[in-house]
Amino acid sequence: MASDQEDDDFLGFSDDEGDGINSDSDSEEGDDAADLVQASQNTAADFGDIGFNEDLPNNTEYVQQVPEVEGEGQQQTTNFQEIPDSETLLYGAIRDAVIEYGYTRKTIGKIWDKEKKQKAAMNSYIVQSQYHRCGRKKVQVSYDSIAQIGMGDRTCIVDLARMLNLGPTTVWRLIKRKIIKPHSSPLHPGISEECKMAKIRWAIRLIMDYTIPQEPTYYSMYDFIHIDEKWFYLTQKNQRVYLANNEPYPHRSASSRTKIPKFMFMAAVARPRWGENGECEFDGKIGIFPFTNAIAAKRTSKNRLKGTIETKPVKSVNQIETRAMMINKLLPAIKAKWPPHEGEKVIYIIQDNAKAHILQNDPE
């Protein structure tokens, strides 16, 4: 028997392929082989390998990356199949991707080639669009190149483009990109430090003395009247009106478009009063009074006879006219419209520092 086994080992045959005679040595080696197979199965189960009796994994669902125009790709579960450990897609996978995402076959092919290169380099699969790098480079303008230009040389796009050595269309694109921003610069009144201090002192004097340490509180100002002057033109060069469907256009004419008469008015207002139930007891509107004179016509014309009283605007509003307005019209209106239930009290008239205004210590 030993000689038969030696012949089988020499020829490289097993018992099934040899002489067909089972020996004691063959049975012992068969038991050893069975033990090795069982040990290998236990080892595979410990390390998570697929057992001999387990089914192969189902490849019908495979996680692929969604091609996007911007940003990184997001993982989604699709029905596109790929053979594991292979660089070949199943038949029709690219066609399904074209139908699913609406891209061309060329775009899907580029994304797949990029994925294969990243997979070969052991990198993560990232789809990032490079569309923002296409086209010519944008014109860049520094902050200093604009700030060093004088304000009078950049009042319009054409002037600014000439100072920057650019085209007007390029400057317009920079405005749309918000690299250059338009700004309307208002003209503010020039106030000196003395005027600022005078305004602050006047505001501080309106605070009630007994409230200064704890809670500074202003006077209620119910006994204050504010006056101011305003110019009004007799008419306007262009005036918008709304007409009926078949109404004719109005025809306006004047002797001169550049010399339209204008009138100055003095307006006076006070703080309104409200009752307990919310009704308005005094609206605070003292009145608005024009600086005009009633003059008799010196001669006859086609428009009026001699001696007809005409209203003429005051050509120059000075302190004399302001004093006459306050004495003849403003003070009588205050006496007539002031709430009677407040009784006798001192009323202060607040005015600005215009030269035509009378002083506080005016004798009249």
Q: In angstroms, rounded to a whole number, what is the distance separating the alpha carbons of residues 77 and 234? A: 78
Whether the predicted pLDDT of 333 surpasses 50: yes
pLDDT of 225 reads 92
* CB 251 within 8 Å of CB 241: no
* CB 291 within 8 Å of CB 326: no
Of 116-125, 190-199, 209-218, 227-236, which gets the smallest average pLDDT? 116-125
Question: What one-letter code names the amino acid at 245?
Answer: N
pLDDT of 87 reads 65
> Which tens digits make up the pLDDT trace of 249-272?
989 888 888 888 888 999 999 999
Beta bridge partners of 207: 218
Q: Alpha helix (H) ranges present in 206-351?
A: 319-325, 331-337
For the record, the structure tokens of 292 come out as 């005009």
* E-state strands within 126-190: none
Whether the predicted pLDDT of 329 surpasses 90: yes
pLDDT of 209 reads 85
Higher-confidence position of 228 and 52: 228
> Which tens digits make up the pLDDT trace of 95-146?
999 999 889 999 988 888 888 887 777 656 665 666 667 778 888 899 999 9
Whether the predicted pLDDT of 1 surpasses 70: no
> Which tens digits make up the pLDDT trace of 6-33?
454 544 444 444 444 444 444 444 555 5
Query: How many CB atoms neighbour CB 310 within 10 A?
Result: 13
Average pLDDT over residues 273-288: 90
Q: In angstroms, rounded to a whole number, what is the distance separating the alpha carbons of residues 66 and 81? A: 14
Percent of the chain with pLDDT over 90: 28
**Taking the domains of the chain in order of start, what are their residue ranges?**
2-46, 62-133, 136-186, 188-219, 222-241+252-350
pLDDT of 111 reads 84
336: which residues sit within 8 A by CB, 6+ positions away?
A: none
133: which residues sit within 8 A by CB, 6+ positions away?
A: none
pLDDT of 356 reads 75
> Which tens digits make up the pLDDT trace of 29-61?
455 555 654 655 554 444 444 444 444 444 444
